[in-house]
Amino acid sequence: MGKHFAGHRRLFYGTNAQSMKTVVTVKNLVKKFGDFVANDNLNFEVYQGEIFGFLGANGAGKTTAIKILCGLSKPTSGEITVAGFDVYKQREEIKKNIGYMSQKFSLYDDLTIHENIRFYGGIYGLSNADIKSKTSQYMEKLKLHEYAKSRVSDLPLGIKQKLAFSVAVMHEPQIVFLDEPTSGVDPITRRQFWDMINAEAEKGTTLFVTTHYMDEAEYCHRISIMVDGRIDALDSPHNLKQQFEVDSIEEVFIQLARKATRDE
């Protein structure tokens, strides 16, 4: 039953098991800070078009791993490629081929919407024509016309987050890292945001998501749960609930995270 279901999930995101392209490969990833082992031998792959949930308690090692995958920090050891590039030698290539958004930092508050789009478009090397067409596309799709002249700091949070997401995928990266993207937004906007995530996955973009909302973990095709620097579980939400014999991912998470022995 579990296997059968997993097969369906693969069809669901538009690729079949044989031709699934791997976008992130992590083999034996270890990251130490002095004696402290922040990432303790991580192994996983993430596929094209997949929504991959990266969960764990505060201090479990998620941020350390994400920094490595984004090319911002070097691992102590392990073989890791992101978008086909090596995290030791090709970190600049990685940065060009990924997108990143977090609730804490994404857009420049004292620039307008246009200025933000132009800034990020410029950074990622888009042509002026592309920047122009993306700008009008976003203004239309996110209904931003009434805010055209406003600084980003004056936008409602929900709109700011949708814009931040659009800007993060503007250069059509193979993979986008979303670090607690929906923290603090109202429940309707939170769901609209997930609709955008799903639509992006349908186009073949890979989404790597962290969240503290356990219901959102259920929207991921697969999730991993980190405990004390290790990945203690990795499967589809459906299979994990079956394996742990519970009804929700929250219960899976609590069972696993309660085993943690190290403090943040």
Distance CA 45, CA 64 (A): 17
- Name the residue nearer to other proteins (CB basis): 98 or 179: 179
Q: Across the strands, what pairs with 206?
A: 175
In whole angstroms, the minimum distance from the beta carbon of 60 to other proteins comes to: 8
Q: How far is CA 64 from CA 39, 77, 113, 233, in A?
A: 7, 13, 31, 18
243 contacts other proteins (rule: CB under 8 A)? no
Closest CA to 72 of 47, 52, 49, 102: 102
- Verify binding: residue 154, other proteins, rule CB under 8 A: yes
- Which of 3, 89, 145, 258 forms a contact with other proteins (CB under 8 A)? 258
Residue 35 binds to other proteins (criterion: CB under 8 A): no
Query: Which residue type, as a one-letter code, is found at position 97?
Result: N
Structure tokens at 57: 């308690």
Interface stretch with other proteins, choices 16-24, 122-130, 170-178, 185-193 (CB under 8 A): 185-193
Alpha-carbon dihedral 69, 38, 263, 178, rounded to 10 degrees: 0
Q: Does 249 engage in binding with other proteins (CB under 8 A)?
A: yes
Pairing, β 77-82 against β 85-86:
antiparallel
Contact 27, 80 (CB under 8 A): yes
**Is 253 a binder of other proteins (CB under 8 A)?**
yes
Per CB under 8 A, does 219 bind other proteins? yes
Q: How far apart are CA 99 and CA 71, in angstroms?
A: 12
Rounded-to-integer distance, Cα 238 and Cα 248, Å: 9
Q: Which is nearer to other proteins, 88 or 105 (CB)?
A: 105
Kindly state whether residue 59 participates in binding other proteins, applying the rule CB under 8 A: yes
- Binding-site residue total for other proteins (CB under 8 A)? 43
Q: Footprint of other proteins on residues 189-218 (CB under 8 A)?
A: 189, 191, 194-195, 198, 212-215, 218
Contacts with other proteins by CB under 8 A lie at: 5, 8-9, 12, 56-59, 154, 156-158, 180, 183-189, 191, 194-195, 198, 212-215, 218-219, 237-238, 241, 248-250, 253-254, 257-258, 260, 263-264
